[in-house]
Chains A and B, each alone.
Chain A
Amino acid sequence: MQSLKLLFDYLIFPGFLFCAVAGLLATWVDRKVTARLQYRVGPPWFQPFADIAKLLGKETIVPEGVSRSVFLGAPLVGLAGVTLVGTLLWLVSLNLGQTFVGDLIVVMYLLTLPSLAIIIGGSASRNPLAAIGASREMKLILAYELPFILACATVIFRTRALQLGEIIGWQMANGPLFWSFSGFLAFAAALFVIQAKLGAVPFDIPEAEQEIAAGPIIEYSGPALAVIRLSRAMLYFILPLFLTVLFLGGFDAWFPAKYLAVLTLIILIKNTNPRLRIDHALRFFWGPVTIAAAAGFILALLGK
């Protein structure tokens, strides 16, 4: 019975199906707002769903001489990881007392699975452009990991908790972390990290369509590409939720507003910045973003 419940949680609600639908809708919001900002009409709401359905029907093309199990298996690992994070965050948000799978550190590590899947898949595809893209994706991880650790450490230090339920509980008692100097700085740093994790402009360096033609996913087609797109769309829903849990007090009556606010910020950053070069991204994350996150942590030590 218990395992059936878990299976339902993972596959239907609040896991895969729910996150996938919500995520695809979020990408629609992204596309629509972007279009409006560029004086275009933009797609209808079902366009992301239609894209996935279309890709599922397309032919699967595999580059010559690749190890098929790695090439086609990598996207699945990404999907499984994203779904696990989504389920974990939701279950804990809906029931603070619940201890499911892992704590904040576990979530931080699970969140690298989608990027790792892209890197391994791209590297396996024997394409020079994919290899360049994969190396950029890895460098991007190196870049944002430092401020990400600092931002999460600020949360851990302020709330004295590692478990997500306790972090939300602390914020319910003491107000969201966002409304303090340290919490705000950590939030700002984490927002850029999320932007990079989504591979959104100005951090779409690994895929850089115009330059290396989608980089690590250049060789993907058909169902495998559909799975990659779907995982990416789910991240559009899950990563803002993660920020909400850490800094904005988690799931409550205001959740839709909080989620939309984070999503809007991401879309705004995306539409007002040109793509960075990878070394600029490294300097940006190791420079200003880390300094902001470190300042946040020091303020937290001082109790602000």
Chain B
Amino acid sequence: MPLLAYIIILPVIAAALCLMFKRAAAALAFVMSVDALFMAFSLFTGGRQELPLLSLQAYPLNSGIYLVAALIVLLTVLYSLKFIGRHERLGEYYGYLMLALAATAGALFAEEFLMFFLFWGVMGLALYLLIGIGGKKAAGAAQKTLIILGGSDLLMVAGAGLVWIMTGRMEMGGTLLAVNNPLALAAFLLLLAGAFAKAGVMPFHSWIPAAAEGAPTPVMALLPAALDKLVGVYLIVRISLDIFLITPGGTASLILLAVGSFTIIAAVLGALLQHDLKKLLSFHAISQVGYMVVGIGTGLPVGVAGAIFHMFNNALYKSALFFCSGSVERQTGTTEMKKLGGLGQKMPLTFAAALIASLSISGVPPFNGFVSKWLIYQGIIEGGQANQLWIIWLMAAMLGSAFTLASFVKLLHATFLGQGAELTAKAREVEWPMWLPPIILAALCVIFGVFAYQLPLRYLILPAFARFIIPGIWDPGLATSMLGVGLALGLLIYLLGNVRSVTQRPAFYGGEILPEETIKVTGDDFYDTVKRIRPLEQIFKIAERKVFDLYEVSRVVVGGAAKIASRIEEKIWPMF
């Protein structure tokens, strides 16, 4: 049997075995995910492959995505060995992880709508079940997730139906429909709704923050941060490049740009005011997709390439950040930023990974997030020739980047830097299965940034494009070596000076000795001044009433249409 079949069937078998043999589940899942990584690698290096029987097809883009997905599954399993430890539902946990792995492969390689919907649905189901493992506090979040994803799946099926009516084809792609009539527009929007919900684009986002509160942290690192993004954004790319034809400045392009820009800004403003580590990260899991949607929305090769690159980068740093937050949670027992602080010295490896991932997500050169954002900006600016609104998209994207930096400054200060706290006093570094995954991902963030052209762009992204022009210049290799020389120069200045005789003194704040808890700046309230600036204050008040949350709105306005959808879904699921 060909590799493409194994890649789906083996994890399903592994999932079944995990469910049956609870004791061996961890080992089984580990072996399976190592094997999946090997299979992904040989598939990736093997070039284009087809399996017409199940209408599966592998080409550089989707096998590249699967390679990254398999890597993150492996790291998640490794991380879970210590994080989950001995859970009473261990068999289910690893079983569902393997189910998610299989479904990801299926959804990525499927070339036909029916096949795709099957795997896409299983992926949502696995997510629902995995969130549910978080116990009672996760039950509501799991239900919300199921309703949003299930409801939007129905919309997507309707969209595929419209495509079938227009073209008579069930293949995903090769149709290149122009979005210039109401029917095509409806099909485009319906298909997008499904992709948006999975990827977490506003207004279908609200399941992610809800899940962040209850779900086990590795589940957050795996699904909403990585797999759902990879598959969801992959679908947006397919919809926008293969099924429909997006012309720069056209309706479809404007819709994507507007939704993407709104998602970037609204979610990042939400992130700025969070008090909980995992919730803050979950808002960034929404905001970052905005960049990908904007990049695809430009309809230009450079923007789309930037979006795909950003999708890979996001999977790397967002998973790393969720892993780090899980490690903090495990060592201190909390993720409330008010109660944390000063962990940088106690958990140096976790801190190093969190610092690199934070700088990457904030788009600080020379890390990977900068390169992909930079490509997206190039796309926006180049697209400016077709439409005067480009400045709005550019402002949203670049300002969003500054706000991202701000919220990560808050996270780093509150958690790893700043003064210590009661809960962090006795914290120690986590064991290697928990620090190694974020360190590997952080190292990849650096590599993807510094060798952007030599590695990710060349092997993962550019094969998908025929023609490619970048108007600007960014030479990450040269810039990094120059920055390195600069660091060495600074070190030399230190050594010229009197840096070897270091003395330690207590921090000075005005002569009076006060107990540390009375003078602690937690970082939790860093941006309260920003919150009180006039237009923002009103916006935040409106947002508190959940007006931007389609889930809440539809619950109130439509009076439970989504619930009906979920009931239908619940009836349908058991049949699979």
Chain A positions near chain B (C-beta within 8 angstroms): 6-7, 10-11, 16, 55-68, 70, 72-73, 75-77, 79-81, 83-84, 87, 99-106, 108-110, 112-113, 116, 119-120, 123-132, 134-135, 138-139, 141-142, 145-146, 149-150, 153, 156-157, 162-163, 213, 218-219, 222-224, 226-227, 230, 278-279, 282-283, 286, 297, 301
Contacts and interface: CB of A to CB of B under 8 A. Distances in A.
Given A56-B496, A120-B417, A79 B486 contact: yes
Given A77-B487, A128-B520, A131-B418, 8 more contacts: A59-B498, A62-B504, A63-B506, A80-B482, A80-B489, A99-B473, A103-B472, A135-B526
A81 B486 contact: yes
Given A125-B507, A149-B395, A10 B418 contact: no
A55 B344 contact: no
B364 interface: yes
B532 interface: yes
A146 B365 CA distance: 19
Contacts of B348: 67
Contact of A58 (B498, B504, B530): B498
Contact of B533 (A131, A218, A286): A286
A303 to B, nearest CB: 12
B344 A124 contact: yes
Contact of A72 (B499, B507, B523): B499
A166 to B, nearest CB: 10
Contacts of B344: 67, 70, 124
A65 B345 contact: yes
Contacts, number: 253
A253 to B, nearest CB: 27
Contacts of B398: 108, 145, 149
B363 interface: yes
Contacts of A119: 409
Nearest to B344: A67
B405 interface: yes
A84 B413 CA distance: 27
Q: Is the interface of A mostly helix, strand, loop or mixed?
A: helix
Contacts of A126: 342, 417-420, 507
Contacts of B418: 123, 126, 131
B474 A103 contact: yes
25 contacts: A7-B485, A16-B489, A55-B497, A56-B498, A60-B501, A60-B503, A76-B487, A83-B486, A84-B486, A100-B473, A109-B365, A123-B523, A124-B344, A126-B507, A127-B509, A128-B519, A135-B413, A138-B526, A139-B406, A139-B526, A141-B406, A142-B406, A146-B395, A149-B398, A297-B391
A300 B563 CA distance: 51
A150 B395 contact: yes
B38 interface: no
B483 interface: yes
B244 interface: no
B487 A67 contact: no
A241 to B, nearest CB: 18
A63 B410 CA distance: 21
Contacts of A157: 384, 391
Interface in B404-445: 405-406, 409-410, 412-413, 417-420
Contact of B364 (A60, A103, A112): A112
B157 to A, nearest CB: 41
Interface string B521-563: 1010011011011100000000000000000000000000000
A10 B486 contact: yes
Contacts of A282: 529-530, 533
Q: Which 8 A-B pairs have the closest CB atoms?
A: A80-B486, A223-B497, A56-B497, A76-B490, A131-B521, A103-B472, A127-B507, A162-B472
A287 to B, nearest CB: 9
B1 interface: no
B484 to A, nearest CB: 8
A101 B519 contact: no
